[in-house]
Amino acid sequence: MASLTPKQALFNIIEVIQGPPTEPIHYRISVGTSVKYLTGPKPLSGLPDGSGEYLGFDTVPVGDWDVGNLAVGTDGKFALVSTEKRRFPDLTPTWHGSRIDLLELGDPVESHEDYELQLRAYIPSGPYPGPAGFGAATVLAFWNTDLEGVDSHALAQECRIYSLLQHKSIAPRFLAHLADNHDRVIGYVLESVPARNAGIDDIDLCRKVLQELHSLNIVHGNLSRDAFLVREDTHVAQLQFFHMSREAADQASLDEEMSKLEEVLQEPLPKPHSGETSDELTAVQARDGYIHPVLFWQLKHDGRISISQDDHRSLLAELEEKGWRYTKEDVEGVAKRLRENGGRLP
Protein backbone atom coordinates (compact mmCIF):
# COMPACT_ATOMS: atom_id res chain seq x y z
CA MET A 1 0.00 0.00 0.00
CA ALA A 2 1.11 3.53 -0.71
CA SER A 3 1.64 5.94 2.18
CA LEU A 4 -0.22 9.24 2.24
CA THR A 5 1.44 12.04 0.32
CA PRO A 6 1.58 15.65 1.52
CA LYS A 7 -0.07 17.03 -1.64
CA GLN A 8 -3.84 17.04 -1.18
CA ALA A 9 -6.90 17.75 -3.32
CA LEU A 10 -10.56 18.46 -2.65
CA PHE A 11 -13.09 15.80 -3.62
CA ASN A 12 -16.81 15.49 -4.26
CA ILE A 13 -18.99 12.59 -3.16
CA ILE A 14 -20.75 11.08 -6.19
CA GLU A 15 -22.67 8.44 -4.28
CA VAL A 16 -22.51 6.24 -1.21
CA ILE A 17 -22.68 2.45 -1.62
CA GLN A 18 -24.12 1.09 1.58
CA GLY A 19 -25.64 -2.33 2.17
CA PRO A 20 -26.36 -4.32 5.34
CA PRO A 21 -25.16 -2.70 8.59
CA THR A 22 -22.36 -5.24 9.08
CA GLU A 23 -20.85 -4.89 5.59
CA PRO A 24 -18.37 -2.28 4.32
CA ILE A 25 -19.44 1.19 3.24
CA HIS A 26 -18.00 2.74 0.08
CA TYR A 27 -17.88 6.41 -0.86
CA ARG A 28 -17.57 6.88 -4.61
CA ILE A 29 -15.79 10.22 -5.06
CA SER A 30 -14.46 12.40 -7.85
CA VAL A 31 -11.02 13.97 -7.57
CA GLY A 32 -10.59 16.24 -10.57
CA THR A 33 -11.49 14.02 -13.54
CA SER A 34 -10.78 10.75 -11.70
CA VAL A 35 -13.12 8.48 -9.77
CA LYS A 36 -11.88 6.87 -6.56
CA TYR A 37 -13.40 4.95 -3.65
CA LEU A 38 -13.17 5.42 0.10
CA THR A 39 -13.93 2.17 1.94
CA GLY A 40 -14.87 1.82 5.60
CA PRO A 41 -15.38 -1.37 7.64
CA LYS A 42 -19.09 -0.70 8.19
CA PRO A 43 -21.50 2.28 8.16
CA LEU A 44 -21.54 4.69 11.06
CA SER A 45 -25.22 5.45 10.41
CA GLY A 46 -28.27 3.67 9.06
CA LEU A 47 -28.62 6.36 6.39
CA PRO A 48 -26.22 6.69 3.43
CA ASP A 49 -23.79 9.50 4.22
CA GLY A 50 -24.24 11.47 1.00
CA SER A 51 -23.06 14.72 2.58
CA GLY A 52 -19.86 13.26 4.04
CA GLU A 53 -20.98 14.00 7.59
CA TYR A 54 -19.07 10.97 8.90
CA LEU A 55 -15.85 11.73 7.05
CA GLY A 56 -13.34 13.50 9.27
CA PHE A 57 -11.48 15.08 6.34
CA ASP A 58 -12.27 17.08 3.20
CA THR A 59 -9.15 16.45 1.09
CA VAL A 60 -7.41 13.31 -0.17
CA PRO A 61 -3.89 12.64 -1.45
CA VAL A 62 -3.11 13.38 -5.06
CA GLY A 63 -1.72 10.34 -6.83
CA ASP A 64 -2.30 7.11 -8.71
CA TRP A 65 -4.56 5.23 -6.34
CA ASP A 66 -8.07 3.75 -6.58
CA VAL A 67 -9.07 2.90 -3.00
CA GLY A 68 -8.65 4.85 0.21
CA ASN A 69 -9.01 2.72 3.36
CA LEU A 70 -10.96 4.24 6.24
CA ALA A 71 -10.89 3.61 9.98
CA VAL A 72 -12.85 5.22 12.80
CA GLY A 73 -10.81 8.00 14.40
CA THR A 74 -10.82 9.33 17.94
CA ASP A 75 -13.49 11.88 16.96
CA GLY A 76 -15.89 9.08 15.98
CA LYS A 77 -15.59 9.87 12.28
CA PHE A 78 -13.80 8.09 9.46
CA ALA A 79 -10.12 8.88 8.95
CA LEU A 80 -8.16 8.04 5.78
CA VAL A 81 -5.36 5.71 6.85
CA SER A 82 -3.93 4.39 3.57
CA THR A 83 -4.42 4.23 -0.19
CA GLU A 84 -3.86 1.49 -2.71
CA LYS A 85 -4.02 0.74 -6.42
CA ARG A 86 -6.68 -1.85 -7.16
CA ARG A 87 -8.48 -2.78 -10.38
CA PHE A 88 -12.04 -3.94 -9.78
CA PRO A 89 -13.64 -6.48 -12.14
CA ASP A 90 -15.96 -5.55 -15.02
CA LEU A 91 -19.59 -6.09 -14.09
CA THR A 92 -20.86 -7.09 -17.53
CA PRO A 93 -19.55 -8.87 -20.63
CA THR A 94 -17.98 -6.45 -23.12
CA TRP A 95 -19.10 -7.06 -26.68
CA HIS A 96 -20.25 -3.70 -28.09
CA GLY A 97 -17.90 -1.38 -29.96
CA SER A 98 -18.92 1.77 -28.10
CA ARG A 99 -18.46 2.81 -24.50
CA ILE A 100 -18.94 6.01 -22.54
CA ASP A 101 -17.96 7.05 -19.03
CA LEU A 102 -20.74 7.56 -16.50
CA LEU A 103 -19.50 11.04 -15.57
CA GLU A 104 -19.45 12.05 -19.26
CA LEU A 105 -23.22 11.68 -19.40
CA GLY A 106 -23.59 14.86 -17.36
CA ASP A 107 -26.62 15.63 -15.23
CA PRO A 108 -29.79 13.52 -15.52
CA VAL A 109 -32.67 15.04 -17.45
CA GLU A 110 -36.05 15.72 -15.89
CA SER A 111 -38.11 12.59 -15.34
CA HIS A 112 -40.80 11.71 -17.89
CA GLU A 113 -43.36 8.92 -18.13
CA ASP A 114 -41.55 7.31 -21.09
CA TYR A 115 -38.32 7.07 -19.12
CA GLU A 116 -40.05 5.67 -16.04
CA LEU A 117 -41.42 2.74 -18.06
CA GLN A 118 -37.88 1.63 -18.97
CA LEU A 119 -36.02 2.29 -15.74
CA ARG A 120 -35.17 -0.60 -13.43
CA ALA A 121 -36.09 -0.97 -9.79
CA TYR A 122 -33.32 -3.49 -9.07
CA ILE A 123 -30.29 -1.45 -10.24
CA PRO A 124 -29.39 2.27 -10.39
CA SER A 125 -30.68 3.85 -13.60
CA GLY A 126 -31.61 7.23 -15.01
CA PRO A 127 -32.29 9.32 -18.14
CA TYR A 128 -29.50 11.48 -19.60
CA PRO A 129 -29.02 13.76 -22.63
CA GLY A 130 -28.03 11.71 -25.67
CA PRO A 131 -24.29 12.09 -26.39
CA ALA A 132 -23.21 13.12 -29.88
CA GLY A 133 -23.16 10.18 -32.27
CA PHE A 134 -25.67 8.08 -30.35
CA GLY A 135 -28.61 9.07 -32.55
CA ALA A 136 -30.93 9.62 -29.59
CA ALA A 137 -32.07 12.80 -27.84
CA THR A 138 -32.29 10.96 -24.54
CA VAL A 139 -30.55 7.80 -23.39
CA LEU A 140 -31.06 5.60 -20.36
CA ALA A 141 -28.09 4.48 -18.30
CA PHE A 142 -28.11 1.34 -16.14
CA TRP A 143 -25.26 0.46 -13.83
CA ASN A 144 -24.08 -1.01 -10.57
CA THR A 145 -21.19 0.05 -8.37
CA ASP A 146 -20.78 -3.37 -6.78
CA LEU A 147 -17.00 -3.30 -6.39
CA GLU A 148 -16.24 -7.01 -6.41
CA GLY A 149 -18.95 -8.05 -8.86
CA VAL A 150 -20.65 -10.50 -6.50
CA ASP A 151 -24.12 -8.89 -6.69
CA SER A 152 -24.29 -8.01 -10.38
CA HIS A 153 -25.67 -11.19 -11.94
CA ALA A 154 -28.86 -9.44 -13.10
CA LEU A 155 -26.90 -6.65 -14.79
CA ALA A 156 -24.49 -9.08 -16.44
CA GLN A 157 -27.23 -11.41 -17.67
CA GLU A 158 -29.27 -8.59 -19.16
CA CYS A 159 -26.20 -7.30 -21.00
CA ARG A 160 -25.50 -10.82 -22.29
CA ILE A 161 -29.03 -11.15 -23.65
CA TYR A 162 -28.76 -7.76 -25.38
CA SER A 163 -25.70 -9.06 -27.22
CA LEU A 164 -27.95 -11.74 -28.77
CA LEU A 165 -30.61 -9.18 -29.71
CA GLN A 166 -28.32 -6.66 -31.40
CA HIS A 167 -29.59 -5.50 -34.83
CA LYS A 168 -33.04 -6.91 -34.05
CA SER A 169 -36.22 -5.00 -33.19
CA ILE A 170 -37.09 -7.20 -30.20
CA ALA A 171 -35.89 -4.60 -27.67
CA PRO A 172 -34.82 -0.94 -27.52
CA ARG A 173 -31.32 -0.45 -28.94
CA PHE A 174 -28.23 -1.16 -26.84
CA LEU A 175 -26.05 1.90 -27.49
CA ALA A 176 -22.85 1.47 -25.46
CA HIS A 177 -21.14 -0.02 -22.46
CA LEU A 178 -20.99 2.30 -19.46
CA ALA A 179 -17.55 2.73 -17.89
CA ASP A 180 -16.29 4.00 -14.55
CA ASN A 181 -13.13 6.09 -14.58
CA HIS A 182 -12.70 5.40 -18.33
CA ASP A 183 -11.75 1.83 -17.47
CA ARG A 184 -13.99 -0.58 -15.61
CA VAL A 185 -17.32 -1.50 -17.25
CA ILE A 186 -20.16 -1.02 -14.76
CA GLY A 187 -23.27 -1.04 -16.97
CA TYR A 188 -24.76 -0.05 -20.30
CA VAL A 189 -26.75 2.61 -22.15
CA LEU A 190 -30.05 2.00 -23.98
CA GLU A 191 -32.14 4.22 -26.21
CA SER A 192 -35.21 5.82 -24.69
CA VAL A 193 -38.34 5.08 -26.74
CA PRO A 194 -41.80 6.70 -26.73
CA ALA A 195 -43.99 3.89 -25.47
CA ARG A 196 -46.74 2.71 -23.16
CA ASN A 197 -47.29 -0.51 -21.24
CA ALA A 198 -49.15 -3.25 -23.04
CA GLY A 199 -52.65 -4.48 -22.26
CA ILE A 200 -54.86 -7.33 -23.42
CA ASP A 201 -55.82 -5.40 -26.58
CA ASP A 202 -52.16 -5.58 -27.64
CA ILE A 203 -51.95 -9.36 -27.44
CA ASP A 204 -51.19 -9.84 -31.15
CA LEU A 205 -48.29 -7.37 -31.06
CA CYS A 206 -46.97 -8.95 -27.87
CA ARG A 207 -47.30 -12.48 -29.19
CA LYS A 208 -45.30 -11.50 -32.28
CA VAL A 209 -42.35 -10.06 -30.35
CA LEU A 210 -42.37 -12.94 -27.89
CA GLN A 211 -42.29 -15.39 -30.80
CA GLU A 212 -39.28 -13.51 -32.20
CA LEU A 213 -37.49 -13.88 -28.86
CA HIS A 214 -38.39 -17.58 -28.68
CA SER A 215 -37.10 -18.12 -32.24
CA LEU A 216 -33.64 -17.41 -30.75
CA ASN A 217 -34.28 -20.10 -28.09
CA ILE A 218 -34.40 -17.45 -25.38
CA VAL A 219 -37.06 -17.60 -22.67
CA HIS A 220 -37.82 -14.22 -21.13
CA GLY A 221 -38.21 -15.68 -17.65
CA ASN A 222 -39.90 -12.70 -16.00
CA LEU A 223 -42.91 -11.97 -18.17
CA SER A 224 -45.20 -9.19 -16.92
CA ARG A 225 -47.22 -6.37 -18.43
CA ASP A 226 -44.45 -3.88 -17.78
CA ALA A 227 -41.96 -6.14 -19.58
CA PHE A 228 -43.73 -5.14 -22.83
CA LEU A 229 -43.40 -1.72 -24.43
CA VAL A 230 -45.84 -0.71 -27.17
CA ARG A 231 -44.00 1.85 -29.29
CA GLU A 232 -45.99 4.98 -30.09
CA ASP A 233 -43.76 5.83 -33.07
CA THR A 234 -43.65 2.47 -34.85
CA HIS A 235 -46.74 0.77 -33.33
CA VAL A 236 -44.87 -2.43 -32.56
CA ALA A 237 -44.25 -4.16 -29.25
CA GLN A 238 -40.81 -4.61 -27.75
CA LEU A 239 -39.53 -6.46 -24.69
CA GLN A 240 -37.36 -5.36 -21.77
CA PHE A 241 -36.20 -6.55 -18.32
CA PHE A 242 -34.05 -9.52 -19.44
CA HIS A 243 -32.26 -10.08 -16.11
CA MET A 244 -33.94 -13.46 -15.63
CA SER A 245 -33.84 -14.57 -19.28
CA ARG A 246 -32.24 -17.88 -20.25
CA GLU A 247 -30.48 -18.94 -23.40
CA ALA A 248 -30.77 -22.37 -25.05
CA ALA A 249 -34.25 -22.83 -23.59
CA ASP A 250 -36.05 -26.09 -24.32
CA GLN A 251 -39.29 -26.05 -26.30
CA ALA A 252 -41.39 -26.95 -23.27
CA SER A 253 -40.18 -23.80 -21.45
CA LEU A 254 -40.90 -21.64 -24.49
CA ASP A 255 -44.39 -23.09 -24.91
CA GLU A 256 -45.18 -22.65 -21.23
CA GLU A 257 -44.17 -18.99 -21.31
CA MET A 258 -46.24 -18.34 -24.44
CA SER A 259 -49.26 -20.02 -22.87
CA LYS A 260 -49.22 -17.46 -20.04
CA LEU A 261 -49.25 -14.41 -22.31
CA GLU A 262 -52.99 -13.70 -22.16
CA GLU A 263 -53.02 -14.03 -18.38
CA VAL A 264 -50.00 -11.73 -18.05
CA LEU A 265 -51.57 -8.99 -20.19
CA GLN A 266 -54.66 -8.95 -17.96
CA GLU A 267 -52.71 -8.47 -14.75
CA PRO A 268 -52.85 -5.06 -13.06
CA LEU A 269 -49.79 -2.89 -13.45
CA PRO A 270 -47.68 -2.23 -10.33
CA LYS A 271 -49.40 0.32 -8.15
CA PRO A 272 -47.91 3.84 -8.20
CA HIS A 273 -46.08 4.93 -5.08
CA SER A 274 -47.28 7.94 -3.13
CA GLY A 275 -45.11 11.01 -2.79
CA GLU A 276 -44.46 10.04 0.83
CA THR A 277 -42.87 6.70 -0.06
CA SER A 278 -39.30 7.99 -0.20
CA ASP A 279 -39.63 9.67 3.21
CA GLU A 280 -41.12 6.50 4.69
CA LEU A 281 -38.27 4.33 3.40
CA THR A 282 -35.73 6.86 4.66
CA ALA A 283 -37.33 6.72 8.09
CA VAL A 284 -37.21 2.91 8.15
CA GLN A 285 -33.55 2.95 7.06
CA ALA A 286 -32.68 5.45 9.80
CA ARG A 287 -34.62 3.53 12.44
CA ASP A 288 -33.50 -0.03 11.66
CA GLY A 289 -30.26 0.47 9.72
CA TYR A 290 -31.46 -1.49 6.68
CA ILE A 291 -34.58 -2.06 4.59
CA HIS A 292 -35.82 -5.62 4.16
CA PRO A 293 -36.63 -6.33 0.48
CA VAL A 294 -40.20 -7.34 1.34
CA LEU A 295 -40.94 -3.62 1.83
CA PHE A 296 -40.23 -3.03 -1.85
CA TRP A 297 -42.45 -6.03 -2.66
CA GLN A 298 -45.27 -4.44 -0.66
CA LEU A 299 -44.83 -1.13 -2.47
CA LYS A 300 -44.95 -2.82 -5.87
CA HIS A 301 -47.96 -5.04 -5.17
CA ASP A 302 -49.92 -3.17 -2.50
CA GLY A 303 -48.83 0.43 -3.11
CA ARG A 304 -47.96 0.91 0.57
CA ILE A 305 -45.79 -0.41 3.42
CA SER A 306 -47.84 -2.24 6.03
CA ILE A 307 -45.28 -4.24 8.04
CA SER A 308 -44.87 -3.33 11.72
CA GLN A 309 -41.59 -2.13 13.24
CA ASP A 310 -41.20 -5.30 15.35
CA ASP A 311 -41.86 -7.61 12.40
CA HIS A 312 -39.44 -5.68 10.20
CA ARG A 313 -36.70 -6.03 12.78
CA SER A 314 -37.45 -9.75 13.16
CA LEU A 315 -37.09 -10.20 9.40
CA LEU A 316 -33.79 -8.30 9.45
CA ALA A 317 -32.56 -10.69 12.15
CA GLU A 318 -33.50 -13.65 9.90
CA LEU A 319 -31.73 -12.00 6.98
CA GLU A 320 -28.58 -11.42 9.04
CA GLU A 321 -28.47 -15.14 9.89
CA LYS A 322 -28.40 -15.83 6.15
CA GLY A 323 -25.47 -13.45 5.62
CA TRP A 324 -27.77 -10.75 4.16
CA ARG A 325 -28.35 -12.88 1.05
CA TYR A 326 -31.82 -13.48 -0.34
CA THR A 327 -33.58 -14.62 -3.52
CA LYS A 328 -36.81 -13.60 -5.21
CA GLU A 329 -38.37 -16.76 -3.78
CA ASP A 330 -37.29 -15.77 -0.26
CA VAL A 331 -39.03 -12.39 -0.59
CA GLU A 332 -42.20 -13.93 -2.01
CA GLY A 333 -42.18 -16.46 0.84
CA VAL A 334 -42.05 -13.68 3.43
CA ALA A 335 -44.85 -11.80 1.66
CA LYS A 336 -46.96 -14.96 1.71
CA ARG A 337 -46.35 -15.43 5.46
CA LEU A 338 -47.47 -11.86 6.10
CA ARG A 339 -50.58 -12.10 3.95
CA GLU A 340 -51.66 -15.43 5.46
CA ASN A 341 -51.43 -13.94 8.96
CA GLY A 342 -53.24 -10.67 8.45
CA GLY A 343 -50.11 -8.65 7.74
CA ARG A 344 -48.19 -9.91 10.77
CA LEU A 345 -45.55 -12.59 11.22
CA PRO A 346 -46.90 -15.83 12.73
DSSP 149-210: STT-HHHHHHHHHHHHHTTSSSSSPEEEEEEETTTEEEEEEEE---EEE--GGGHHHHHHHH
> In the structure, what pLDDT confidence band is assigned to residue 242 with cuts at 50, 70 and 90?
very high
For 2-16, 60-74, 215-229, which range has the lowest pLDDT when averaged over its residues? 2-16
**pLDDT attached to residue 70:** 97
Indicate the pTM of the whole model: 0.78
Q: Is the pLDDT of residue 123 over 80?
A: no
153 compared with 262, residue with greater pLDDT: 262
- The span from the CA of 66 to the CA of 325, in Å, is 27
In this predicted structure, the answer to whether residue 324 has a pLDDT above a threshold of 90 is: no
* Residue 85 clears pLDDT 90, i.e. is over it: yes
Given a cut of 60, whether residue 185 has pLDDT beyond it is yes
Percent of residues, the chain, with pLDDT higher than 70: 94
Q: Count of alpha carbons within 13 Å of 18, Cβ hemisphere only?
A: 19
Distances (CA, A) of 50 to 17, 27, 29, 46, 271: 10, 8, 10, 12, 29
Q: Mean of the pLDDT values across residues 22-37?
A: 90
**Weakest mean pLDDT among 52-66, 229-243, 256-270, 282-296:** 282-296
Give tens-digit pLDDT for 97-107. Answer: 999 998 888 88
- The string of DSSP letters for 23-72 reads S-EEEEEEETTEEEEEEESS-SSSS--TT-TTBS-SEEE-SS-SEEEEEE
229 contact partners, CB below 8 Å, separation of at least 6 = 117, 118, 172, 193, 195, 196, 197, 198, 237, 238, 239, 240
Task: Name, in order, each residue with C-beta under 8 angstroms of 323's C-beta and a sequence gap of 6 or more.
Answer: none
pLDDT confidence bin for 251, thresholds 50/70/90: very high
Checking if the pLDDT of 278 tops 70, the result is no
The backbone torsions φ and ψ at residue 141, rounded to the nearest 5 degrees and listed phi first, read -105, 140
Per-residue model confidence (pLDDT) at position 329: 82
pLDDT-wise least confident of 150-154, 174-178, 237-241: 150-154
How confident is the model at residue 151, as a pLDDT? 67
Strands 67-72 and 34-40: parallel
pLDDT averaged over the chain? 88
Per-residue pLDDT tens digits for 252-277: 999 999 999 999 999 887 665 544 56
Q: Pairing mode, if any, of strands 125-129 and 184-191?
A: unpaired
pLDDT tens readout for residues 45-55: 877 788 899 99
Indicate if the alpha-carbon torsion angle 80, 84, 89, 90 is positive or negative.
positive
* C-alpha to C-alpha distance for 338 and 78, rounded to whole angstroms: 39
The helix-helix angle for 203-214 and 251-259 (nearest 10°) equals: 170
> Mean of the pLDDT values across residues 144-150?
76
